[in-house]
Amino acid sequence: MGAAGAAAAPAHAQAARPNVVFILADNVGYGDMGAYGGGELRGAPTPRTDQMAREGLRLTQFLVEPACTPSRAALMTGQYSIRNGLSLIIVPGTPATLSGKAFTMGDMFHAAGYATAIYGKWHLGSEPQSLPTAHGFDEFYGIPPDTSWDSAAYVDTIEMTHSIEAPPGALLAKGPHVVEATAGSALRQVKPYTLAVRAEIDNELTAKSIDFIKRQHAAGKPFFLYLPFSMAHFPNRPSKEFEGKSRIGNYGDKLMEGDFHVGQVLDTIKQLGIDNDTLVIFCSDNGPSAYMAHEFGNLGSTDFGNSGPFRGELGEVTEGSVRTFAFIRWPGHVAANTTSNAMFSIMDFLPTLAGVAGGKMPTDRPIDGVDQSDVLFGRSATGRREGLLSFIGPDLVAARWKQWRVYFTDIYPTGVGPQRAPGLGSASAPMAGYPKVFNIEMDPHEDRNVGAVFGWSAEGPLKEVEAYEKSLKGHPNPPAPNITVFRGE
């Protein structure tokens, strides 16, 4: 891979540009979905996405960034999140926000003549220049663009702790709201975003997505739909239809609900007769919140995802945090019932989709994603990526190269939750001397540091680091996000 490579995406011979539907789950683990060994065995059957796997391509080495905002920034820009100052989860009231100069997937599709929409969670900032409608999206409906799904509990937890003395009505009026916007317009508040709304919001987002698909099909216009819905971010509040459906509580109920909504979208595409004209992607932004259980409002049902054979959870840089599921379906183009173990980053989707859609990539900035269309169309078993870097805030903390995972900060193999490794709330520290090295094919759970045995294995990751550092000379990063170190004027 070239960390700083940037060029126009190559065109691919095909009859017409496809519609593209990108559905993004939230904090779902590698071992949660049926096609990856979860589903029924996890107490939460996922029949529709099991079917999607049989009808398309399943990636077994799909890699993301350590948390929600970083992964979404990487997806939208095709760059490491740190290049846009978004390598930590956005916290409202801090300067972290997507720059107006950023080039996004919405910009690419819009410039290519597509109708574009996002329904759900943006999480890249609420400043006017940061909104999806300032970055190529024609329509936006969803939760506040600088918060996540747990903001539905803000008013309840404020009242519970008596932190802000105000009448309930005043808190509700000032609290987070579901919002909407169209290109060129300001955000409009629709209704308070409460735990009751949280429970039913994926029904709304899916209904709006289906309506968008039908409208654009009737208009004869190619479309790009981005549906980042709430499956399965804490606090998981299933809709009435799915409450109690699984055998593992709210988390499982929400897995089953999300699976159902994916099926609704696929059914709509089939009913409209545009199956062969529509590329559908379904993946997760991060690994699971395995120990970050959110008990509030969950009646003791923990949000307990499954990383499969890998170790780690949301917020870390362990394999189980940054490796999750991905399905790609395009009948007649992407071979059915296929699996690829090619290393595929969430950043790779932008240049890959630009190639498929006839879009253009910028040449005035480093692009860390690579065109992986050869993987999609079965022309390459290995793809064009050999490595990947992982950042948390200002720090480069880990790297992947082939089957090797290398840590540049100390990693705690035991402990509770994210304190086990570099990540949110961790007690990790920079290491003096040598990095720690794990072979994730010999040792998927990363239990044994083998740096002393395979000393040469650090060369590949260090070359990835060198290429990244070289790219910074002409394109320095903006200030990294920070809410722990403060300096006076």
Instruction: Quote the DSSP letter at residue 424.
Output: T
Percent above pLDDT 70 for the chain: 89
Q: What is the pLDDT of residue 8?
A: 38
What is residue 7's three-state secondary structure?
Answer: coil
| Helices (runs of H) and strands (runs of E) counted in the chain | 11, 15
Instruction: Report the distance separating Cα 105 and Cα 132, nearest Å.
Output: 10
Give me the pLDDT at residue 295, please.
53
| pLDDT of 319 strictly over 60 | yes
Please report which confidence band the pLDDT of residue 430 belongs to, taking 50, 70 and 90 as the band edges. Answer: low
Q: Model confidence at 94, in pLDDT bands (50, 70, 90)?
A: confident
Q: Given this model, what pLDDT does residue 483 score?
A: 79
* Predicted local distance difference test score (pLDDT) of residue 299: 46
**Is 325's pLDDT higher than 80?**
yes
Alpha-carbon distance of 166 to 357, in angstroms, equals: 51
**Which pLDDT value is given to residue 14?**
43
Q: What percent of the chain has pLDDT over 90?
A: 71
Higher-confidence residue of 58 and 317: namely: 58
| Whole-number pLDDT of residue 157 | 86
pLDDT band for position 423 (cuts 50, 70, 90):
low
- Closest C-alpha to 142, from 184, 199, 204, 200: 204
Alpha carbon 149 to its chain's center: 14
Structural contact between residues 244 and 44, judged by C-beta atoms closer than 8 angstroms:
no
Q: What is the pLDDT of residues 213-270, one digit of tens each?
A: 999 999 999 999 999 999 999 888 899 999 999 999 899 999 999 999 999 999 999 9
Region 179-192 average pLDDT? 95
Stretch 421-433: mean pLDDT, rounded? 59
Q: Could you give the C-alpha distances from 417 to 104, 153, 300, in angstroms and in order?
A: 33, 22, 18
* pLDDT tens-digit readout, 117-170: 999 999 999 999 999 999 999 999 999 999 999 999 898 888 888 898 888 889
| Res 473 pLDDT > 60 | yes
Q: Which residues are catalytic?
A: 68, 123
- Paired sense of beta strands 404-407 and 436-439, if any: antiparallel
Q: How confident is the model at residue 455 (pLDDT cuts 50, 70, 90)?
A: confident
Best-predicted range by mean pLDDT (310-324, 344-358, 402-416) = 344-358
How would you label 342-380 residue by residue, b for 16+ Cβ within 10 Å and e otherwise? bbbbbbbbbbbbbbbbbbebbeebbbbbbbbbbbbbeee
pLDDT 10s digits, 27-44? 999 999 999 999 999 999
* Tokens describing residue 8: 């126009």
Please give the average per-residue pLDDT across 91-95, as a whole number.
Answer: 82
Q: Which ranges in 220-348 belong to alpha helices (H)?
A: 250-271, 319-322
pLDDT class of 424 with cuts at 50, 70, 90: low
For the chain, list the domains and their CATH numbers: 19-387 (3.40.720.10), 389-472 (3.30.1120.10)
pLDDT at 12: 40
pLDDT value of residue 426: 55
**Looking at residues 438-446, what average pLDDT do you find?**
93
Q: Kindly tell me if the per-residue pLDDT of 2 is higher than 60.
A: no
Whole-angstrom distance, CA of residue 35 vs CA of residue 46: 8
Please state the rounded mean pLDDT for residues 446-466: 89
Q: Cα separation of 343 and 399, whole Å?
A: 13
pLDDT in the model for residue 1? 41
Interior CA angle at 28 toward 89 and 60, to 5°?
110
Task: Kindly report, residue by residue over 272-302, the tens digit of the pLDDT.
Answer: 999 999 999 999 999 998 655 555 545 455 6
Looking at every residue in the chain, the average pLDDT score rounds to 89
Task: Give the C-alpha distances (Å, rounded to integers) separating 433 from 398, 417, 451.
Answer: 15, 26, 12
- Residue given tokens 């709509």 in the structure block: 268
Task: Please tell me whether residue 37 adopts helix, strand or coil conformation.
Answer: coil
257: nearest Cα among 205, 314, 325? 205
Q: Which two tokens stand for residue 320?
A: 């189980």
pLDDT at 35: 97
Mean pLDDT of 324-341: 97
Does the pLDDT of residue 9 top 50, yes or no?
no
Q: Is the pLDDT of residue 394 over 70?
A: yes
- Answer whether residue 15 shows pLDDT above 50: no
Alpha-carbon gap, residue 64 to 70, rounded angstroms: 9
H/E element holding 19?
strand 19-25
**Whole-model pTM?**
0.93
